[in-house]
């Protein structure tokens, strides 16, 4: 019965455990808190401000010159498309009969397909190419920004 006091080793063990736990908790809190809060605040403020005030003035057609059938389309279609897509052409080179661009009404009827075939880079119409980058920009100004049918 002389070994009763051989148990003081428990005291140091109790002291170490809470110290480590406290240190880990403080470390995690210090890293996550400030970074997350600052990043979210500044990002949200910037997006809301610029989008709300400037949306109407910065659309894709906002500063585009007026381009329409009379100022651009008629000449462009005559030069680059009507060789195969006019109703009067002697040889359509396989262009479908329903895809005919004699006037602005017929041309506007194919607006979406024309943009997809001829206003992209590289264009797939005309089949052999030949339009300039400027032409393709004007084609977009015309069919995307001019009043429909003009």
Interface positions with ligand HEC (CB under 6 A):
80-81, 83-85, 93-96, 99, 110, 113-114, 117-118, 125-127
Q: Is 35 or 113 the residue whose CB approaches ligand HEC more closely?
A: 113
CA atoms of 68 and 132, how far apart (whole Å): 18
Task: Describe the crossing of helices 111-118 and 133-140 by its angle, rounded to 10 degrees.
Answer: 150
Q: Is 36 or 127 the residue whose CB approaches ligand HEC more closely?
A: 127
Tell the smallest beta-carbon distance from residue 59 to ligand HEC (Å): 25
Tell the smallest beta-carbon distance from residue 128 to ligand HEC (Å): 6
Tell the smallest beta-carbon distance from residue 88 to ligand HEC (Å): 14
CA atoms of 70 and 51, how far apart (whole Å): 35
Q: Is 104 or 117 the residue whose CB approaches ligand HEC more closely?
A: 117
Of 99, 111, 98, 127, the residue nearest 69 (C-alpha): 111
**How far out from the chain centre does Cα 84 lie?**
34
């Amino acid at each position: 019965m002389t070994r009763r006091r051989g148990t003081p080793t428990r005291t140091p063990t109790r002291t170490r455990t809470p110290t480590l736990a406290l240190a880990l908790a403080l470390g995690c809190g210090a890293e996550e808190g400030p970074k997350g809060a600052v990043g979210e605040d500044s990002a949200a403020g910037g997006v809301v401000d610029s989008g709300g005030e400037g949306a109407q003035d910065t659309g894709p057609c906002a500063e585009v010159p007026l381009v329409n059938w009379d100022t651009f389309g008629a000449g462009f279609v005559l030069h680059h498309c009507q060789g195969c897509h006019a109703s009067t052409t002697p040889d359509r080179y396989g262009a479908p009969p329903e895809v005919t661009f004699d006037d602005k009404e017929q041309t506007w009827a194919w607006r979406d397909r024309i943009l997809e075939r001829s206003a992209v880079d590289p264009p797939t119409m005309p089949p052999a190419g030949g339009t300039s980058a400027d032409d393709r920009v004007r084609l977009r100004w015309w069919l995307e920004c001019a009043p429909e049918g003009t």
